[in-house]
Amino acid sequence: MDYAVKFEGVYKEYPYYQHITAGLKSFIFNLPKNIKTLKKSRFVALNDVSFEVRKGETFGIIGRNGSGKSTILSLMAGVIRQDRGFMETNGRISSLLELGAGFHPDLSGLENIILNGILMGHTKEEVMGKIDRIKEFSELGDFIYQPLRTYSSGMHVRLGFSVAVHIDPEILLVDEALAVGDMSFQEKCMDRMLEFRESGATIVIVSHDMMSISKLCDRAAWIDGGRIMAIGKPNDVVMKYIEHFEHREGQPAAKDRRSAEAEIKSETDEVVVHRDDLHEVKESEDTQEQVDISETKKPSSWWDSLVVAAECEALITGDPKISFYEFLKKQYMIGSLKRGLGICNRLRGIEVNYVINSICKPFDVIDNEDEIARLTAGEWNFKEKYYELFLCVDLLHRMKDIDLFLKHVDGALGDKGYIIAMEYVGPVNFQWSDKEIKIADMIYAAIGSRDGSDDSGGIMKSAALSRAGKNMTGGVSSEEVIPMIGKHFDVLSIRYIGGPLFDLLLDRVIESLDPDDKKDSALIRTIIRFEQALIGEGVLGNNYAVIIAKKRHG
């Protein structure tokens, strides 16, 4: 049995009790009518829900308040039972549904640890063996010996979290329990969750924090109105969730729309995204189609590969554990900006990550090819001092007049404006050198011979394509991008992320390898790191960079 949790056609309903609010006397006086109404008025919390959580998997569940997320966890924990369908769990369960539930207010924190551990199925000796670790993790100090009624609400949930995560469960259920205490304690909680994941435990997380879902989970499900709407890779499910609310708000995903907005409403978890290239999620009043997105197509180029993106993030931040968005917040205090303008010739949809990670609230987006062509030709009209962030990807070196364009961007940014650009910064109209081709062919030959096949044809084709050269069309030499940004803005940081092998080799490699396969992913990472080593030695040069700049004053 390779699953830890299994749902098959599960239904759960609750009756409405508003008929009793007028008082018991009124309810009894109109008993026949009220009973008849009660039978008809039932709230469907789960409607034909089916999915599996594999053993050792971290599984996330997202959705609005009232969509059925917590009901699913309550069924897993055995707190409630389904009305119909089949539900099974395999393994010892610890739940973080109501942190500190079952604690006695007159007992000390230490006594509550022992009591709670015994209630969870451990012997007193086993619990005592974990006391020191629980005390240290909770950071309660001498308060551990004080009655629980003297604790603040924050101290109460700290103790509850610390007990729950130290009983070594096989299945851990988490319901919005990652935002416990201050920032340092939240980081400890996240690290503890990652330890559980590495140990092979099964984790099911319900959260409104999209970043946590993306960071922790192997797969995720989106539930709405008691139905599973999508299930698959976390980033894909989050995008489906966001796209859904684009159409729910009645905004058509027109190909010719020039701007877009993305907003996450933290209190209700409603996400509104207006984008040029969203795909419609079909639904009616009676039925909602479940979308299975477990199988996603391979990236067509290195720009679309999550493996390459993760490696580039590590090059930018200097630490694989720190995301680019955490880097922006900590290093440059960039966050909670009001409105951004995103113009993305590549990496379409990347602005959603800026919204999810609280860098910028909404975005106006231009990523339609025709619109970008008009922009690069010199047609633009931006509102004065309307934006606080200008995000562009693979754009500036294509501008007909980059100097004039950046002047207009400067005028469109408010006093606290920032610019973040991911750009090609290599030479214009170049041909790869024989040295670069030789290195690429050497690597390609090694990859092609992994299965013992004759790859000489592929090598010759690769070399022929390479010698044909790469014509980087644009109004200016791409070598002028960074100096031109520096002319109009205060450059805070330049982080180089790649060289000629990205285009010469990585696109071909990604077509032939599966980035979801661990060995193939490791091979892609090795190529990137090998190129970085050659760049460091001066053998190769950088062709791509991320530039972070701030509006200049005075």
State both tokens at 188: 């400890």
286: helix, strand or coil:
coil
State both tokens at 81: 């039972």
CA distances from 284 to 50, 248, 274, 436, 447 (A): 20, 11, 21, 55, 49
Q: What is the pTM of this model?
A: 0.51
pLDDT reported for residue 486: 92
Fill in the amino acid letter for 247.
H
What's the maximum distance between 2 C-alpha atoms anywhere in the chain?
94
pLDDT reported for residue 266: 35
Q: How far apart are CA 519 and CA 525, in angstroms?
A: 10
Burial 291-316 (b: 16+ CB within 10 A, else e): beeeeeeebeebbbbebbbbbbbbbb
Q: How far apart are CA 372 and CA 366, in angstroms?
A: 7
pLDDT reported for residue 428: 66
List, in order of start, the domains of the chain with CATH numbers: 3-12+47-222 (3.40.50.300), 236-293 (no CATH), 302-429+471-500+541-551 (3.40.50.150)
Which residue, among 449, 467, 466, 465, has the nearest Cα to 512 in the 3D structure? 449
Give me the residues paired with residue 443 across strands. Answer: none
State both tokens at 412: 């469109």
What is the mean pLDDT, run by run of 10 residues, along the chain of 554 residues? 89 69 59 60 84 93 86 87 92 70 80 82 84 87 88 80 79 70 66 79 83 80 91 85 59 33 33 33 38 53 83 87 88 88 87 85 86 88 92 90 92 93 79 83 72 44 44 59 92 90 84 79 88 88 91 78
pLDDT reported for residue 545: 92
pLDDT reported for residue 183: 57
